[in-house]
Amino acid sequence: MIDDVRQETVALFAVGHRGTSSITGSTTTTPTTITGSACGTRSEWTVGDAGTYRKPVAWINVSGGAAPTGAADAHDSLRKVLGYVHADSVEAACVRVPVTRDAVGPDGTIADPQIREQIAAALTALAQHVARRDSEDSGG
C-alpha cells in the first residue's frame, strides 16, 4: 500500500515539475542517504528527462530534535544528485525548519507562527531567485 502511494506521488512529481519555474519540497529524514526514500526516488526519476536542468530547486528539511544532525547525509546526497542533473540549487531557500508531529494539526496545517515564518522566508528566497534569474535571462 505505502509503495503504491509512493510510486503514485513520484509519478505525479515526475510529470508535474516539467512546466514549473522552480521546485521545492519537504524532505524525509533517513539516517544515511536518500536512496530508497520517496525523495530519493523522486529525484532519481528526474535524471532521465532533463526536467530539472537549470531549474531552481530548494528543500525544507523538517527533521525534528530526534535527528540531531538534521539528516545531513541525506541532504548531502540530495545536493549531489541535483548537481548531477544540473539543477540550480538555491541554497538560501534550502533550510532546516524543525517540525514536530504535534506542530501539525489534524487538518495537516502548521499553526505555529515561527515555523510558518521560516517556511515563508525560504519560499520567498526561492521566488526572488527565480525572478532575478528570469530578469537576467531576458536581458533585464
Please say whether the beta carbons of 78 and 23 come within 8 A: no
- How far is the C-alpha of 81 from the C-alpha of 46, rounded, in Å? 10
Host domain of residue 45: 2-137
Contacts by residues 24-28 (CB-CB < 8 Å, ≥ 24 positions apart): 24/57, 24/58, 24/59, 24/60, 24/93, 24/122, 24/123, 24/126, 25/58, 25/59, 25/60, 26/59, 26/60, 26/61, 26/62, 27/59, 27/60, 27/61, 27/62, 27/71, 27/74, 27/75, 27/78, 28/74
Give the pLDDT confidence score for residue 118 in this predicted structure. 94
The domain tally of the chain equals 1
Give the pLDDT confidence score for residue 25 in this predicted structure. 59
The CATH number for 31's domain is 3.40.50.360
Per-residue confidence in pLDDT tens, the chain, 140 aa: 334 434 443 443 444 445 566 565 555 444 444 444 445 555 555 566 677 788 888 888 888 877 788 888 888 888 888 888 888 999 999 999 998 889 999 988 999 999 999 999 999 999 999 899 888 887 76
Give the pLDDT confidence score for residue 135 in this predicted structure. 84
Give the pLDDT confidence score for residue 91 in this predicted structure. 94
